[in-house]
Structure 1
Amino acid sequence: MRVVPSELRGVLLFLPEPRHDRRGLFTRTFDTAVAARHGIDASTFRQDSQSRSRRGVLRGLHGRSGRGESKLVRCARGAVHDVLVDARPDSATFGRHVAFRLDDQDFAHLFVPAGFLHGFQALTDEADVCYRIDAEHDPAEDLAVRYDDPQLAIDWPLPISVLSERDGAAGSWTDLRVALG
Structure 2
Amino acid sequence: MRVKTTELPDVLVLVPEPFFDERGFFTRTFDAGIFDSAVGRPGASAEFLQDSQSRSRRGTIRGMHGRGGRGEAKLVRCARGAVLDVIVDIRPESPAFGKSIAVTLDDETFTHLYVPPGFLHGFQALTEYADVCYRIDRPHDPTEDLAVAHDDPDLGLEWPLPVGPISERDRSAPSWDALLDRLDLPYGDTN
TM-score normalized by structure 2?
A: 0.93
1:142-161 maps to which residues of 2 (within 5 A)? 142-161=145-164
Query: What displacement does 1:175 show?
Result: 1.0
1:31-42 maps to which residues of 2 (within 5 A)? 31-39=31-39, 41-42=44-45
Which residue of the other structure, out of 88, 103, 106, is the alignment partner of 2:106? 103
1 CA distance for matches of 2:183 and 2:95?
15
Q: Which residue of 1 aligns with 2:24?
A: 24
The C-alpha deviation readout for 1:29-86, integer Å capped at 9, x for no partner, is 1100101111251110111100000000000000000011000000000000000000
Is 1:54 aligned to 2:57, yes or no?
yes
Aligned structure 1 segments of 4 or more residues deviating by more than 6 angstroms: none
Is 1:173 aligned to 2:176, yes or no?
yes
Which amino acid counterpart does residue 6 of structure 2 have in structure 1? S
2 CA distance for matches of 1:146 and 1:36?
33
Unaligned runs of at least 5 residues, structure 2 = 185-191
RMSD, aligned α-carbons: 0.7
Q: Which residue of 1 aligns with 2:188?
A: none
Query: What displacement does 1:179 show?
Result: 1.3
Is 1:13 aligned to 2:13, yes or no?
yes
Query: What displacement does 1:117 show?
Result: 0.2
2 CA distance for matches of 1:36 and 1:47?
17
2 CA distance for matches of 1:42 and 1:96?
26
Question: SS of the residue aligned with 2:153?
Answer: coil
Question: SS of the residue aligned with 2:59?
Answer: coil
Query: What displacement does 1:152 show?
Result: 0.8
Identity of aligned residues (%): 61
Is 1:4 aligned to 2:7, yes or no?
no
Question: SS of the residue aligned with 1:174?
Answer: helix
Query: What displacement does 1:162 show?
Result: 0.7
Which residue of the other structure, out of 73, 78, 101, is the alignment partner of 2:76? 73
TM-score normalized by structure 1?
A: 0.99
Which residue of the other structure, out of 93, 118, 123, is the alignment partner of 2:121? 118
Unaligned runs of at least 5 residues, structure 1 = none
1 CA distance for matches of 2:95 and 2:131?
33
1 CA distance for matches of 2:34 and 2:20?
22
Is 1:136 aligned to 2:171, yes or no?
no
Q: How many residues align?
A: 181
